[in-house]
Each structure stands twice: as C-alpha cells, then as structure tokens.
Amino acid sequence: MQLAGWGRFPRVDAELIEPPTAQAVITVLKESDEEGTLIARGAGRSYGDSSLNTQVLSSRFLDSFSSFDEGSARLRCSAGVTIDELLKVSIPKGLFPAVVPGTKQVSIGGAIAADIHGKNHHRDGSFCDHVESLTLALASGEIKVCSTKKNKELFHATCGGMGLTGVILDATVNLEKVPSVFIRSQAIATKNLNHTIEQLEALNDNKFVVAWVDCLATGDELGRGIVHAGNFTEDAPMEYVRRWGPSVPFNTPSLMLNRYSMSWFNNFYYWLYNRPAGEDLDSYDSFFFPLDSIKHWNRLYGRKGFLQYQFLLPEDTAQKGTQAVLERVADAGKGSFLAVLKKFGAGNSNLLSFPGPGLTLTLDFKNEASLFPLLDELDKIVIENGGRHYLAKDARLSAETFKAGYPQWAKFKAVKDKVDPQQRFSSLQSQRIGLTTAKDERL
Amino acid sequence: MNVLIIGATSAIAKAAARQYAARGECLFLIARDDKRLQEMSEDLVVRGADSVNSASLDLLQHDQHSQAIDEAASVLGTIDIALVCHGSLPDQEQAENDFAAAEKALDINGLSVISLVTALAATMKLQGNGKIAVVTSVAGDRGRQPNFVYGAAKAMVSTYLQGLRGKLLPHGVQVIDIRPGLVDSPMTAHLEKGALFSSPETVAAKIVKSIDGNRHTVYAPGYWRLIMLVVKSIPEAIFKRLKF
Ligand SMILES: Cc1cc2nc3c(=O)[nH]c(=O)nc-3n(C[C@H](O)[C@H](O)[C@H](O)COP(=O)(O)OP(=O)(O)OC[C@H]3O[C@@H](n4cnc5c(N)ncnc54)[C@H](O)[C@@H]3O)c2cc1C
Ligand SMILES: NC(=O)c1ccc[n+]([C@@H]2O[C@H](COP(=O)([O-])OP(=O)(O)OC[C@H]3O[C@@H](n4cnc5c(N)ncnc54)[C@H](OP(=O)(O)O)[C@@H]3O)[C@@H](O)[C@H]2O)c1
C-alpha cells in the first residue's frame, strides 16, 4: 500500500505489517526474511521518510496500558499508545506528560525514537528525560529492557535513535503533577528578530515559551513575531477536552497556499496579538495542539505535499544564522504559515537527540521543484553556523549535512552495529543520510 | 453496570470494552488467549474499569459454555449486558472445497454463538432482565460469492436472534443484532483498505450506543443499512453473475 509521513512527501509503496501483540512483533522479527530491511512506525506524524521503507512494522495494535501508579506518577504502556489516549487516563488523576509536541496524535514509541521536545524544553528537557525504562525488541527477536541504569548504551542510542536499534515494545514514563490543565499565557508582539530573541530570553522563567515568526516580514521588520509565554494555572478545571473541528476531506489545490494567502495570514496573526499586553486562558488542547482541531490539515498543501524544515543553532551563532536563514527565505519569496522559534535548554546524553542549547526555527514549505535548491542553501547556512537538523521533520538531508550536525553519529552507528549487525532496521531516511546502506547495496 | 464480553480480545470487542471501562463499569472477559486477557485486564483497569475479571476458553468447546456463563454471573452478580463478539473469516476457496474447513467456520461464526446465546438467555431469564448483543455481519444479509460460508453462519445467527428476541421480550431481556460493514481489524489485515472501512472504535461506539438505546437490528456504521438494501434488491438473475 501507499505510505507517507505527515508531509505526504515522499510516498512509497510499502508492505505494512500490523502485529496484534508484542509477541507477534517478535515472531515477525524472527521469521521475516533476513535479507529484507524494515522500520517501525507509530502514528506516522514524522514529516518525511523516518518511518518509511519497503517493509513497515506498525505499532498500531500495541495500544494497551499496563499499570498506572498515581503515587509515583508513573505509567507503563505499549509503544503504540498515543499522547491523546494517555491524556484520557492521566488528566482525571491530575497528571500530565512532562513533554508534549504540537500534536497529541503521536505514539509513545515515536516520541521516544525522536526524543521529542515541547514548549518547555528550556525547563524540562525532552521526552526521553522522563522515560524511566523501555523494552526493546532487537533484530534477533531478543528482548532488552533499557534505562539510564540498565543497558545504558542501548538506551541512549534508542532514545532519539529513529527506530534504528529495534522496535520499542513498551515504556514506563514519569508524568507530572499539574494544578489544572489550563494555561494562562501572555502574548507579546515583537518588532524584529533581535527583539524576538530578547523577549524569548526575558520570558524564560515561564514554563512554556515559544515565538511565532512572521517570515514574510523583511527589512527592519525581519524576524518580527509574537512571543507566547504561559504556565499551568491553579484556578481552572482538570478535564479531558473533547473538541470537534472541521476536517479537510480531500487535497485542496495547492494554489490555496500561495504568497498572497500566506502574506494575508501572517499579517492577520500579527495584528491579532499586536495589542496591549493581556492574559489568555487556554485549555491544554488549544494551547499545545491548536492544529489538531483541523483533521487532515496536511491536505491543505495539495497532492504533492509539503516539507518541514527545522534546525538548531548554538547560542553564539543563533542570532546571526537565524537572520541569514530568514533573509534567504524572504528573498526567495517562499514564506511559511508556521514559522516557530524556540529557545532550547541543555541537551542530554542521547546520541542522536536533536535538542541542545540554542535557538530552533521551524518552517514549512509547499513541495515544489524550486524549493530544493533553496533548502540546500539553508543547509549550508545552518552547518556553517555549527547547527543541525531535526530528523523527525526531514525528507531530503544529505549524508554530509547530517553527519556534520551530529558528530556522535559514528558512536551511534557502533552501537547499532552491535545489536543489528545485518542492518535489518533501516528507513529511507537512514539510507539517505548514511546510517544504513540501501538494500540493493547490501546484497 | 456489569458487562460480560465474549471474544474479548477481538479488535471490536477491545474497543467496546475500553468505552465501558472509561464509564467505570464492572467487566468480565472471555477469550481463548490467557496472556492477552491478562494484558487487556491491566489496560482496562488503568482506563477506569471498576473491576475486571476474565476466563479463558476455546469457544469451539460448546460443552464448557454454560459453565463459563455461570462463572461470569457469579463473579458479576448479575449480567446486565452480554456482548458476543468472536468470529473468524475463513478462506472461502478452502471452505468451499473442504467441508471440514466449512464446518469449522460455521461452528465458530454460527453454532458456537448460538450455544453461548442459549446459556445467556437462560441466565437472563432467571434474572428477569439483561441485554444480549451479538456481533453478526452484513455478510449475512445476502450470500455473496467471495464469502458465503461465513455469510451463511452469520445469517443463521441473525435469523436465530430474530426469533429469540420475541421469546425473551416478556422476560425483560433485550436482544440486539449488530451488523458491522467492513472493519479495519486483524480479521481483514490481508485486504486492501478502501473508503468503506471503519475503525474498530467507530463500530464499538455504535455498539455501546445501540445497547444503551435498546435497538434491535443495527448496522455499523448506519449507512450499511442502505448499502445492503441495494444489495438485497438486486434480482437474483443478475446477482448470480456478480462476483463481488
Ligand atoms: C502537527 C505536528 C506538530 C509536531 N510538533 C512537534 C514538536 O513540537 N516537537 C517535536 O519534537 N516534534 C513535533 N512533531 C514531530 C513528531 O512529534 C515526531 O515526528 C514523532 O516522532 C512522531 O511520532 P509517531 O508516533 O507519529 O512516529 P512515526 O512518525 O510513525 O515515526 C517516527 C520515528 O519513530 C520511529 N518509531 C515509531 N514507533 C517506534 C517504535 N515502536 N519502536 C521504534 N521506533 C519507532 C520510526 O521508526 C521513525 O523513525 C510534530 C508533528 C506534527 C505532525
Ligand atoms: N472485521 C470486519 O470487517 C468485520 C465485519 C463484520 C463483522 N465482523 C465481526 O466482528 C467480530 C469481531 O471481529 P474483529 O473484526 O474484531 O476481528 P478480530 O480482531 O480478528 O476478532 C476475532 C476474535 O474471535 C476470536 N476467536 C476466533 N476463534 C475463536 C475460538 N475458537 N475461541 C475463542 N475465540 C475465538 C479471536 O480470538 P484470538 O484473538 O485468540 O484469535 C479474536 O479475538 C466477529 O464476529 C466478526 O465476524 C467483522
């Protein structure tokens, strides 16, 4: 069947295997053809080709909880459980995941494999910093329980390892006690990139801080945006929100998203928040997952899909590099609806985790031929400034660019070679960025 | 409320059990795989079930049925709702050519269900209340070339339930026949998924709602009633040439 990531580019013909139990996953690993390669897939919310190969093993039916200890706020569940399902059981108990991404439709396995970050990275680190332990099925079908204490090396390779060490079967995660699931936030309109960065820093003691950037603004206004900062509030309820929203039923002509509508949108968004400072009260659902209210919003980009581009620049070059990228994008007239700027805190010991101290900018672009040379140029800027790219968003990075951004890649590869000597776990992405060899080259 | 679920590890049953768990009901599960029952019980407790008990049984063993129902009744106190959900989609070619295969398919999708319903009816008659919900299929509405062995078993159950419904009416017992269309579950893993496929969760939501609402014959999702109306109205002279 045809499979793609959230960006709907690239699309491939793949055999989708959906084992009904963890035991069945092991059987698949033991019995499947040793020559063939495969990759795990969770909810398919990575944008590019991280969870694509000719054989894809879905965690869809691994969707059970095993235990929930309210006292220690610790929950154990299978890898296919989504953040949304988790929220249904955790919120009534006053608990919330320590890290959530911009959509609640990701699986726990996917959250670990990409070591995802949220709007609170500067305070709370990334998802795997709150993973107590995980169970991994290796290529041989052997089971390994990994944590920061047990099978430590394998743990640090699996967290952020994009499914290349094995199939995560289940995990025990630490949740956080929250006073309510509502967020009181403020929004500050900024004049230019310097001002935006200044505000991100000034508001750093809020739990959640993120900026939206108007990437069509140029000249003196380049990098202007809205900085949002918020905290869970005491005086609001603790309830799971069921929101109904519209759905995009089919691919819209990609013409809908053009320079003009984008420029209109960016101006409108800026205008909306460019007002005397005030406070907003949002449910967790609208604060963290605004896009989830439009089902299949990815279809808005048309049949050819779109690409997301997210990079990190270390603190000393962050301002300069971000400025250069925004200038180049504005020059090319290739604005993006969602340009998000965020200041990360310290990184962790996971070999391929994306976050680290500095600034991260996320842009998305409609898929068109003229985009690729532009992105190649942006890659250069990012690497020259000592940065790197987020694999969960990537569909096109070269092996050189990847390796330049992730100096620990060789260490990762060494761990992988130990547990998967035949390179059975491999994605289109890992083949492209040189972490595994393409199938036909192996034979 | 006390809910008994038979064939509990099926994707549709699992989704229904989760919806009951979220409402805080007491559950009793019957299926053949002990390990999965254990996992499922843990899951349902985390999801809010008041209590979860289970028994494992190969449902082809008819002689064990009434004992299993008795056990469920004694653990639950009364059985307010019984959902019968097990089934198996046989290989049509094989079932057509090898009677042993057909017999097994007719048993698991037909006879075993009737045997269980017999035991449930007896228990609920004594209770003086209860609801028996059975998952059959749109495949029972008309014999079609690709799956008529399976369809014949489902039709047998549907016909049986129609008669039983009236018989149990004076005893305060409701009988609900649920006919799903195409469901994206392990049973259909080998089929290419088109637009007519529904998720087990959607079908389960319809099941739970129909049981609450005392419906009798339910298509899940509802548009299958219309589709089957069309399928049933095709004259046999034409239908016999259709391969779908
Ligand atoms: C609207 C939107 C907003 C987002 N916001 C953020 C954000 O704020 N922060 C952020 O960090 N990310 C964000 N993401 C990206 C997303 O969090 C990651 O791509 C995440 O990995 C998706 O999880 P998934 O379950 O969909 O995994 P998939 O996309 O299916 O797979 C992603 C990777 O995980 C691996 N994987 C999945 N399951 C397993 C398993 N069981 N065992 C081993 N490997 C596995 C796959 O092999 C693949 O490499 C966003 C995505 C979307 C669509
Ligand atoms: N999927 C569809 O498109 C569809 C359409 C219409 C109707 N239905 C009906 O819906 C019901 C549920 O099916 P599903 O789609 O959820 O598929 P499923 O997940 O494959 O469920 C079938 C269940 O039946 C159980 N079963 C089979 N033989 C058994 C036996 N001898 N003893 C005990 N249990 C046995 C299986 O147990 P194990 O897990 O142990 O194998 C499994 O749990 C079935 O009655 C099916 O006919 C399905």
Same domain? A145 vs A285: no
A-chain residue closest to B42, CA distance: A66
- Answer yes or no: is A306 within a domain: yes
The reply to whether A442 falls in a domain is no
Is the separation of the CB atoms in A170 and A183 below 8 Å? no
With a 6 Å cutoff on the Cβ, whether B11 touches ligand 2 is yes
Q: Which atom of ligand 2 is nearest to the CA of B180?
A: 6
Give yes or no for B195 touching A (CB within 8 A): no
Would the pLDDT of A440 be above 70? no
* Identity of the residue in B35, B36, B42 whose CB atom sits nearest the CB atom of A65: B42
Question: Residue B149 pLDDT more than 80?
Answer: yes
Chain B residues closer than 8 Å to A57 by CB: none
Q: Are residues A236 and A167 in the same domain?
A: no
d(CA A17, CA A31): 13
Q: How far apart are CA A114 and CA A158, in angstroms?
A: 9
Ligand number, closest to the Cα atom of A390: 1
User: CATH code at A323?
Assistant: 3.30.70.2520
Do A241 and A357 reside in the same domain of the chain? yes
Q: What's the burial of A14, exposed, middle or buried (CB within 10 Å: 0-12/13-18/19+)? A: buried
Report how far ligand 2's centroid is from the alpha carbon of B190 (Å).
Answer: 14
Q: Is the pLDDT of residue B39 over 60?
A: yes
Q: What is the pLDDT of residue A260?
A: 76
- The residue whose CA has the least distance to atom 19 of ligand 2 is B10
Same domain, A77 and A141: yes
- Amino acid at residue number A206: N
Chain A nearest CA to B16, separation (Å): 14
Whole-number pLDDT of residue A255: 59
Tell me which of A157, A177, A197 is where a domain ends.
A177
Give the structural domain span for A26.
2-58+404-434
The per-residue pLDDT for range A183-206, each reduced to its tens digit, is: 999 999 999 999 999 999 999 999
Q: Could you tell me the distance, in angstroms and rounded to a whole number, from the CA of residue B88 to the centre of ligand 2?
A: 5
**How far apart (Å, rounded) are the C-alpha atoms in residues A155 and A174?**
16
8 A C-beta contact, residue B135 and residue B87 = yes
- Which chain A residues have any C-beta within 8 angstroms of a chain B C-beta? 1, 18, 20-21, 23, 61, 64-68, 75, 77, 88-89, 92
Report all structural domains of chain B as residue ranges with CATH numbers, in order of start.
2-239 (3.40.50.720)
Q: Which of A116, A144, A177 is the last residue of a domain?
A: A177
At residue A257, the 3 state secondary structure works out as coil
Provide the b/e sequence for B169-198 (b: ≥16 CB within 10 Å).
eeeebbbbbbbbbbbbbbeeeeeeeeeeeb
Q: Are B140 and B221 in contact (CB under 8 A)?
A: no
The DSSP letter of residue A252 is P
pLDDT attached to residue A443: 44
Pick from A45, A121, A126 the residue to mutate for probing ligand 1's pocket: most ligand atoms within 8 Å of its CB. Answer: A45
Domain count, chain A: 3
* Predicted confidence (pLDDT) per residue in A133-147, tens digit: 999 999 999 999 999
Taking contacts as CB-CB distances below 8 angstroms, the residues of chain B near A239 are none
**The pLDDT of residue A304 is above 50:** yes
φ/ψ (deg, to 5) at A410: -70, -35
Interface test with B, best of A26, A57, A61, A64 (most B CBs within 10 A): A64
Report which ligand 1 atom has the smallest distance to the Cα of A165. 43
One domain for residues A256 and A375: yes
Q: Could you tell me the distance, in angstroms and rounded to a whole number, from the CA of residue A302 to the centre of ligand 1?
A: 22
Q: What are the helix (H) ranges across A232-314?
A: 259-273, 284-288
Average pLDDT, chain A: 93
SS3 B43: helix
How far is residue A318's CA from residue B78's CA, in Å, rounded to a whole number?
Answer: 67
For ligand 2, whether the C-beta of B188 sits within 6 Å is yes
Residue A305 and residue A417 in one domain: no
Whether A224 is covered by a domain: the verdict is yes
Q: Check pocket membership of B87 for ligand 2, CB cut-off 6 A.
A: yes
Last residue of a domain, one of A177, A197, A224: A177
Same domain as A359, residue A214: yes
Ligand 1 atom with the smallest distance to the CA of A43 is: 26
Cα–Cα distance, A92 to A165 (Å, whole number): 35
From chain B, the residues in CB contact with A58 under 8 A are none
* Same domain (yes/no): A338, A324: yes
Identify whether A248 is part of a domain. Answer: yes
Residue A257: C-alpha distances to residues A299, A334, A375, B27, B143 (Å)? 11, 11, 19, 50, 49
Residue recorded with tokens 């409609």:
A366
| Co-location of A221 and A322 in the same domain | yes
Task: Return the H-helix or E-strand segment holding A279.
Answer: strand A279-283
- Average pLDDT on A68-86 reads 97
Per-residue pLDDT at A74: 98
Which chain A residue shows the shortest CA-CA distance from B18?
A: A64
Claim to verify: residue A383 and residue A270 sit in the same structural domain:
yes
- Which residues, listed in sequence order, are joined to residue B2 by a DSSP beta bridge? B26
Please state the separation of Cα B196 from the chain's center in Å: 20
Three-state DSSP at A258 gives coil
Q: How far is the CA of B13 from the centre of ligand 1 (A)?
A: 28
A-B CB pairs within 8 A amount to: 34
Tell whether A392 and A243 lie within a shared domain.
yes
Determine the Cα–Cα distance for residues B46 and A68; give it in Å rounded to an integer: 6
Whether B223 is catalytic: no
Q: Are residues A131 and A248 in the same domain?
A: no
The pLDDT tens digits of the residues spanning B205-241 come to 999 999 999 999 999 999 999 999 999 999 999 999 9
Task: Read off the CATH number of the domain in which A114 is found.
Answer: 3.30.465.10
pLDDT of residue B76: 98
- Ligand 2 centroid to Cα of residue A249, in Å, is 31
Task: Choose the weakest-confidence range: A60-64, A114-118, A248-252, A306-310.
Answer: A248-252
Does pTM top 0.90 for this prediction? yes
| Distance of alpha carbon B61 from the chain centroid | 17
- Strand residue runs (E) in A59-166: 65-69, 74-78, 95-97, 131-137, 143-146
Task: Calculate what percentage of chain A has a pLDDT beyond 90.
Answer: 80
Share of chain A above pLDDT 70, in %: 97
Kindly indicate the confidence band of residue A242, based on its pLDDT and cuts at 50, 70 and 90. Answer: confident
Query: Is the pLDDT at B202 greater than 60, yes or no?
Result: yes
Mean pLDDT score, A21-48: 93
pLDDT of residue B24: 97
Give the tokens for residue A436: 């595994």
Strands A143-146 and A131-137: antiparallel
The answer as to whether A195 is a domain residue is yes
Catalytic residue among B20, B150, B160, B219: B150
Please check the confidence at residue A442 and state whether its pLDDT lies above 80: no
Query: How close is the nearest chain A Cα to the Cα of B43, in Å?
Result: 4
